[in-house]
């Protein structure tokens, strides 16, 4: 397994594609550096960066191209802070986030709606890292109390399902990138489990 991967991921190389200001980091580096960032500085997030993330989300694949997702961009800090108590654990990033994007889906529109929403959310997490922002997935789906609070604060209609809130901001914490040597290669099976 390792031998196979080393043909595409040289062990001794920091990056596969040299990174500089004018070179987009390789996708594998983007994946490596994307970590959940839960603390943000007070620097506002530019609207252009939010637009960039939304474009990336709107290009996400969806089952039968039914596009069952809806996105609510929240820039009002008071609203973002009001979302923070939506659940007892795991929503602390809403206490410092400078922007948030609520990802909701219509499960009546598509049998794959939850997957579609999750993929769109992941596009945004990766795009945020590429744009130099920190981001985190705050899970809402299946948490009834949290979901009704988010709906009440953002006007998401009752018949939609809120999957998550993606919190955004400039990083106020350092997260180590993933180490190629420590990836869970034993999760990969060839031909048979």
Cα–Cα dist 25/30, whole Å: 6
Contact (CB, 8 A) for 68 and 115? no
List alpha helices for 7-112, DSSP H: 27-33, 47-58, 77-83
CA 152, 155, 160, 165 dihedral sign is negative
CA 86, 92, 97, 100 dihedral sign is negative
Nearer to ligand FMN, 20 or 118 (CB): 118
CB of 115 to ligand FMN, least distance (A): 11
Residues contributing to the site for ligand FMN (CB under 6 A): 35-36, 38, 90, 136-139, 175
CA 159, 163, 166, 167 dihedral sign is positive
Q: Extract the tokens encoding 79.
A: 């609203």
Cα–Cα dist 53/167, whole Å: 12
CB of 191 to ligand FMN, least distance (A): 28
Nearer to ligand FMN, 36 or 107 (CB): 36
Nearer to ligand FMN, 82 or 126 (CB): 126
Nearer to ligand FMN, 48 or 144 (CB): 144
Question: Would strands 99-105 and 161-169 be described as parallel, antiparallel, or unpaired?
Answer: antiparallel
CB of 28 to ligand FMN, least distance (A): 14
Cα–Cα dist 114/164, whole Å: 10
Nearer to ligand FMN, 75 or 139 (CB): 139
CB of 139 to ligand FMN, least distance (A): 3
Nearer to ligand FMN, 33 or 109 (CB): 33
């Amino acid at each position: 397994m390792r031998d196979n991967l080393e043909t595409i991921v040289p062990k001794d190389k920091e990056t596969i594609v040299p990174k500089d200001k004018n070179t987009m980091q390789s996708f594998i580096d983007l994946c490596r550096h994307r970590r959940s960032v839960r603390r943000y500085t007070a620097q506002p997030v530019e609207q252009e960066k939010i637009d960039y993330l939304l474009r990336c989300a709107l290009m996400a694949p969806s089952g039968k191209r039914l596009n069952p997702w809806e996105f609510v961009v929240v820039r009002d800090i008071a609203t973002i802070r009001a979302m923070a108590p939506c659940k007892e654990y795991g929503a602390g990033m809403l206490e410092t986030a400078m922007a948030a994007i609520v990802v909701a889906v219509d499960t009546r529109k598509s049998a794959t709606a939850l997957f579609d929403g999750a993929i769109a959310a992941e596009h945004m997490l990766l795009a945020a890292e590429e744009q130099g922002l920190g981001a985190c997935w705050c899970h809402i789906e299946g948490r009834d109390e949290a979901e009704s609070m988010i709906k009440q604060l953002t006007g998401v209609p009752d018949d939609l399902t809120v999957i998550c809130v993606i919190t955004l901001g400039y990083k106020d914490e350092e997260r180590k990138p993933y180490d190629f040597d420590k990836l869970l290669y034993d999760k990969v099976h060839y031909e048979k489990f």
